[in-house]
């Protein structure tokens, strides 16, 4: 099997020819391959990140034709005429990475340029399946541009910007490189402002999530401690009322539920303050100390079963004890 040769791209790029006045000499060096990643008007992209290798491969051919409408690539293989109007015989790399070619013009070629029959020129180059430029194959005068590049054909020599870039930046199709640079700088400035806001937020409007979580944890902890304190206070109040004989031990849970809120504790405190002593918490108390004014839990139960009031039961009991 033969070696798979890189594909040759035609009309991939377009450079504008300079406007020549009088006897102004034609340029000897012309840009041929842009630096880095470059894109045509049709959306295809290529890569020139190894310009030295491209030049070495190109120099395998002592001179390459500079024809019209890429006749070398299109007509030559068919045996049709494909005359050269100039020759590419040397190459160099500019500081920005662009590959330039030295052009040796023929009289016919100079006449075509000066007569303004062609406004643009375009290189044909080889490239791999992944778009890597491998070598220059030829160049051709053309009027069918695919990508605007700086000048070989008007008085304005400013570099224009590919349509894909001006579209993304929201610029007019005629935007210059300086316009693109300004637009990009504005985007960078906005990103810097946004980054500063992210790193230095307005604390009156934003709270970091870690701080929010810490405050939430502390609030939950404080709430838990307050609940525990409320429970302890409720137990203390209810147990004290039971010890004082103003609340039956059997009703402890009911009063504990009441005392777990501040309003409930206030209500319970008022109730205990006004309530009489109804229960002798110590059954032995009253017998040894001869307490004739309180009833035990059992005696209260007897009152309820007999339909007697506490006073009636106390009077009967004390009378019986006096005998």
Residue 194 within a domain: no
Residue 317 within a domain: yes
What pLDDT does residue 244 have?
82
Say if residue 44 is in the same domain as residue 118: yes
Say if residue 290 is in the same domain as residue 322: yes
Say if residue 36 is in the same domain as residue 131: yes
Say if residue 135 is in the same domain as residue 267: no
What pLDDT does residue 83 have?
94
Say if residue 12 is in the same domain as residue 147: yes
DSSP code string of 168-207: HHT--TT-BHHHHHHHHHHHHHHHHHHHHHHHS--TTT--
Residue 203 within a domain: no
b vs e for 148-158, b when ≥16 Cβ sit within 10 Å of the residue's Cβ? bbbbbbeeeee
Q: How far apart are CA 257 and CA 3, in angstroms?
A: 93
Residue 109 within a domain: yes
Q: Which of 94, 76, 79 is nearest to 138 (CA)?
A: 76
Say if residue 146 is in the same domain as residue 223: no
What pLDDT does residue 203 have?
60
Facing residues of 44 across strands?
A: none
Q: Which of 322, 249, 236 is nearest to 279 (CA)?
A: 249
Q: Which domain holds residue 165?
A: 160-184
What pLDDT does residue 154 have?
41
Q: Residue 106 in contact with residue 86, Cβ under 8 Å?
A: yes
Say if residue 149 is in the same domain as residue 176: no
Q: Residue 316 in contact with residue 292, Cβ under 8 Å?
A: no
Residue 193 within a domain: no
Residue 129 within a domain: yes
Q: Which residue positions in the chain have pLDDT lower than 50?
A: 1-4, 147, 149-158, 285-290
Residue 108 within a domain: yes
What pLDDT does residue 199 have?
66
Say if residue 43 is in the same domain as residue 114: yes
Say if residue 12 is in the same domain as residue 149: yes
Residue 126 within a domain: yes
Q: How far apart are CA 97 and CA 209, in angstroms?
A: 48
Say if residue 308 is in the same domain as residue 266: no
Number of domains in the chain: 4
Q: Residue 171 in contact with residue 183, Cβ under 8 Å?
A: yes
Q: Which of 182, 175, 143 is nearest to 158 (CA)?
A: 175
Of the residues 134, 153, 172, which one is the last residue of a structural domain? 153
Say if residue 133 is in the same domain as residue 36: yes
Say if residue 44 is in the same domain as residue 133: yes
- Checking DSSP bridges between strand 7-9 and strand 99-105, what pairing results, if any? unpaired
């Amino acid at each position: 099997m033969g070696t798979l040769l890189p594909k040759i791209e035609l009309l991939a790029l377009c450079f504008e020819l300079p406007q020549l006045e009088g006897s102004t000499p034609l340029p000897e060096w012309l840009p041929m391959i842009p630096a880095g990643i470059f894109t045509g008007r049709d959306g295809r992209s290529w890569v020139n990140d190894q310009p030295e290798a491209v030049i070495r491969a190109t120099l395998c051919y002592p001179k390459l034709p500079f024809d019209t409408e890429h006749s070398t690539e299109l007509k030559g293989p068919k045996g049709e005429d494909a005359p050269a109007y100039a020759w590419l015989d040397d190459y160099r790399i500019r500081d920005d990475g662009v590959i330039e070619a030295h052009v040796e013009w023929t009289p016919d070629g100079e006449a075509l340029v000066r007569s303004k029959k062609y406004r643009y020129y375009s290189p044909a180059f080889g490239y791999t399946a992944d778009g890597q430029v491998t070598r220059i194959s030829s160049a051709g005068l053309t009027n069918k541009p695919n990508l605007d590049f700086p000048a070989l054909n008007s008085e304005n020599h400013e570099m224009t910007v590919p349509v894909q870039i001006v579209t993304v930046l929201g610029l007019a199709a005629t935007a210059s490189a300086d316009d693109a640079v300004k637009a990009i700088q504005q985007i960078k400035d906005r990103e810097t402002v946004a980054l500063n806001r992210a790193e230095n937020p307005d604390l009156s409007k934003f709270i970091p999530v870690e701080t929010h979580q810490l405050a939430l944890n502390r609030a939950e902890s404080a709430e838990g401690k307050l609940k525990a304190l409320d429970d302890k206070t409720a137990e203390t109040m209810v147990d004290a009322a039971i010890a004082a004989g103003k609340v039956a031990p059997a009703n402890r849970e009911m009063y504990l539920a009441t005392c777990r809120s501040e309003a409930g504790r206030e209500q319970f405190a008022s109730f205990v303050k006004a309530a009489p002593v109804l229960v002798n918490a110590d059954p032995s108390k009253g017998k040894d100390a001869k307490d004739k004014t309180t009833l035990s839990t059992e005696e209260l139960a007897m009152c309820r079963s007999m339909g007697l009031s506490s006073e009636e039961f106390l009077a009967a009991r004390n009378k019986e004890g006096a005998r």
